[in-house]
Amino acid sequence: MSTPLKKNKTSRKKFIKNSSMAVAASLLISSCKEEQSNSGPNIISNKKFKWKMVTTWPPNFPILGECCNLFSQWVSEMSAGRLEIKVFGGGELVPPLEAFDAVSNGAVEMGHGASYYWAGLSPAFQFFATVPFGMNGQQFNAWIGNGGGYKMYKELYSKYNTVPFLGGNTGVQMGGWFNKEVNTIDDFKGLKMRMPGLGGKVLEKVGATAVLVPGSELYTSLERGVIDATEWIGPYHDYIMGFHKIAKYYYSPGWHEPGTGLEFFANKRSYENLPSDLQSIIKVAASKVNQWVFHAFETKNGEYLTKLKEENVDFRLFSEDILKNLKEKTNEVLAEVTSADPYSKKVYDAYQKFQAQVNSWADYSERVYYRSF
């Protein structure tokens, strides 16, 4: 009879042996599959494709515009020039918020933006960008990439003749710039604040007025008192905008955008007309951008937080009570959105289920880890 130790050793050996056999078998299967799927005459074709990409960002905009240029460069390099994508900033070819329409109707082949901009077509789009008090960047990436989210993402976009690909994440955003202290939930009453999307609807429920001022007009609006407060992104982009020169308090966290997903979208027919290797190149380059953007935000926000501290910005945290109130109102907004639209309910049910699962893991990982320093 074997001792528990020996038994463990034996079962570990057995496990390792079985695992390596399984890996070898799956590698064999996947290489056969690859051979099959890559054996078409399509692949050898030297046919060249020239695409246009419209974006919702100003040309070469830090990180968000830069990542589109990188995408184009990587696709060109990987395809040895067989797929060239010319990038246009918002307004250069079509207005920023018409980027999705232009791709959907085939005027251009590709776009980059964030899905909450298309909420006018269907409220369900918003769940593929961000949800107040929703998942953070790494959780959202896990949902789309591994947790079944992509199936619904693709299904929704297919209704609009498009194919989506994740194309970046901002990480947790900041709560915004204010010219008066926000100590209780009542301090939101009568406040005129720039905030898009579901977060804006939540603000309305606590007595604020949510306005959607375009980025280009934000500085002047806040400086002239047209608005009392604004959210934008995080330390890097907010520093560039110069908000620290005209607002007193910089609040955290960005409860309304805990990890906004950015995206590429291709015209479905154009994408399906590409040889399969060029389709794979698009997928790989988008995935690389998704990672690059996330890492760029993390790096730059750390760097520019230091700069803002050097400018003596008054950093504040929303109180637990304020966040609890905003969360309750968020639940009301989400209940209204999902009861009015069955497809939004289907998507949000899946989102919520995944969020509950990863949050319970976070209770044993990130949440406790962050408490340790």
Q: Among candidates 70, 89, 141, 54, which has minimal Cα distance to 292?
A: 70
User: CB atoms < 10 A from the CB of 360, how many?
Assistant: 9
Q: Among candidates 173, 337, 325, which has minimal Cα distance to 255?
A: 173
Find all residues with CB under 8 Å of 249, minimum gap 6, and list them: 177, 178, 179, 180, 181, 182, 314, 315, 316
Six-digit token string for 7? 């038994």
Q: Shortest approach of Ca ion to residue 134 CB, angstroms?
A: 14
Nearer to Ca ion, 247 or 285 (CB): 247
- Residue type (1 letter), 180: K
Nearer to Ca ion, 130 or 270 (CB): 130
Judged by CB under 5 A, which stretch of 171-179, 180-188, 318-326, 328-336 contacts Ca ion? 171-179
Nearer to Ca ion, 82 or 244 (CB): 244
Nearer to Ca ion, 93 or 296 (CB): 296
Binding mask 64-103 for Ca ion (x = CB under 5 A): ----------------------------------------
| Euclidean distance between CA atoms 89 and 74, whole angstroms | 18
Binding mask 242-271 for Ca ion (x = CB under 5 A): ---------------x--------------
Report whether 285 contacts 213 (CB < 8 A). Answer: no
Q: Shortest approach of Ca ion to residue 317 CB, angstroms?
A: 18
Binding mask 124-163 for Ca ion (x = CB under 5 A): ----------------------------------------
Q: Shortest approach of Ca ion to residue 185 CB, angstroms?
A: 21
Binding mask 195-234 for Ca ion (x = CB under 5 A): ------------------------------------x---
Report whether 200 contacts 231 (CB < 8 A). Answer: no
Tokens 């050097």 locate to 310
Q: Shortest approach of Ca ion to residue 173 CB, angstroms?
A: 5
Nearer to Ca ion, 197 or 275 (CB): 197
The overall longest dimension of the chain from CA atoms, in Å, is 84
Tokens 């709560």 locate to 175
Is residue 141 within a helix (H) or strand (E), and if so which, with residue range? Answer: helix 137-145
Binding positions for Ca ion, rule: CB under 5 A: 173, 231, 257
